Amino acid sequence: MSVVRADIRPTRRRPEPARRATVVEVERATVVEVDGATAVVGGRTVWSGVDATVAAGEFVAVLGPNGAGKSTLLKAVLGLIPVAGGAIRLLGRPPGQANHAVGYLPQRRSFDTSLRVRGVDVVRLGLDGDRWGIPLPGRRSRAAAARVRELVELVGAGRYADRPIGQLSGGEQQRLLIAQALARRPELLLLDEPLDSLDLPNQAAVAALLSRICRAEGVAAVIVAHDVNPILPYLDRVIYLGHGGAASGTPAQVINSGTLTRLYGTPVEVLSTSDGRLVVVGQPEAPAHHGGRHDRHAA
Ligand SMILES: Nc1ncnc2c1ncn2[C@@H]1O[C@H](COP(=O)(O)OP(=O)(O)O)[C@@H](O)[C@H]1O
Ligand SMILES: [Mg+2]
């Protein structure tokens, strides 16, 4: 039986009192804290006075021109290079002391097309790479196999995970590498240019996947990226490194003409579309890498 609620008119009601007691701001744990940090590489100050935070479950991009020190920032968070000033804390500890909770993909990974290792094997390396070739006892081995299958499903790689990785498209390889980085249930993913060999639709697709994983798994992800526009709708925060300077905050706080022009040292315009999306126009040198290293297969 359907109930027809006839004659519902707006009635003048007192505004409800603010429900302070029941609406509690969920304070998300801080995963990374960068506090006035300076990096010196090869005797040269790459960046200084960088402030940024990454909270649990956030999807964050490190953006900026080549040589701005994006990879350096990830390495500093991992403690692979020391900061020359200021401080970085990872899960409340000095860099290098909580790396067991990080899944890290360094820049420029590629697989030879003749490589016969399967996608699932690459994912499995994230779980027991340190015991490569040494079989686990039965029960743990079954648990590991189940976790690998779960990860393959999570990144939507079920169709091709049993094929040799060298024969997969760039987008398929990236999904499997993300699964590998997630294998030990890290609290933070640090992915250095995971989108760099992908065409624009695939960059957006992988960014969408990462943003879903952040929410579903409660893991924070920091990716270094080159093209802003395809990933912008998915980001919670951005850290923008420019020539010597830096800005961080929500996309709306950072992605504006004034800030980007200052960081690039050349005019950059940010437009707002009718549906409220931000589009960066005139970002220098952005698509250069879509030439030579472009993957030959569709993802
Ligand atoms: N091992 C190194 N020795 C000296 N200089 C380096 C080294 N690695 C990086 N650099 C320099 O540090 C700066 C920042 O590099 P990087 O963090 O790789 O930039 P990005 O990732 O933004 O392209 C660049 O000027 C680069 O040339
Ligand atoms: Mg780099």
The range of the structural domain enclosing residue 104 comes to 30-110+185-290
Q: Which of 38, 40, 41 to mutate to test the pocket of ligand 1 (most atoms within 8 A of CB)?
A: 41
What average pLDDT score do residues 166-178 get? 93
* Region of poorest pLDDT, from 88-97, 126-135, 176-185, 259-268: 126-135
179 located within any domain: no
78 located within any domain: yes
Percent of the chain with pLDDT over 70: 82
Is the pLDDT at 104 greater than 60? The verdict is yes
96 located within any domain: yes
What average pLDDT score do residues 94-99 get? 96
* Angstrom distance (rounded) from CA 26 to CA 4: 39
The finding on whether 225 has its CB within 6 A of some atom of ligand 1 is no
Is the pLDDT at 299 greater than 60? The verdict is no
Which residue in 203, 238, 245, 206 sits closest to 222, CA to CA?
A: 238
Is the pLDDT at 284 greater than 80? The verdict is no
* Region of poorest pLDDT, from 44-58, 214-228, 261-275: 261-275
99 located within any domain: yes
CA dist list (Å): 210 to 62, 126, 129, 175, 179: 14, 17, 23, 9, 10
- Do the Cβ atoms of 172 and 166 come closer than 8 Å? no
Distance 19 CA to ligand 2 centre (A): 47
Distance 41 CA to ligand 1 centre (A): 7
149 located within any domain: no
249 located within any domain: yes
Atom of ligand 1 nearest to the CA of 107: 21
The finding on whether 71 has its CB within 6 A of some atom of ligand 1 is yes
β-strand partners of 280: 270
222 located within any domain: yes
More confident residue, 1 or 114: 114
Which residue in 289, 294, 269, 236 sits closest to 53, CA to CA?
A: 236
Which residue in 122, 197, 132 sits closest to 160, CA to CA?
A: 122
- Do the Cβ atoms of 225 and 217 come closer than 8 Å? no
Is the pLDDT at 292 greater than 50? The verdict is no
Q: What is the pLDDT of residue 266?
A: 83
The finding on whether 49 has its CB within 6 A of some atom of ligand 1 is no
Percent of the chain with pLDDT over 90: 59
CA dist list (Å): 100 to 70, 95, 131, 181: 22, 11, 16, 11
121 located within any domain: no
Q: Which of 47, 50, 72 to mutate to test the pocket of ligand 1 (most atoms within 8 A of CB)?
A: 72
- The pTM of this model reads 0.83
Distance 192 CA to ligand 2 centre (A): 7
* Region of poorest pLDDT, from 124-128, 149-153, 212-216: 124-128
Number of structural domains found in the chain:
1
Mean residue pLDDT of the chain comes to 85
Domain of residue 106, CATH code: 3.40.50.300
- 38 phi and psi angles, rounded to 5 deg: -125, 135
Which residue in 86, 88, 72, 66 sits closest to 225, CA to CA?
A: 66
The finding on whether 66 has its CB within 6 A of some atom of ligand 1 is yes
Tokens of 110: 């590629």
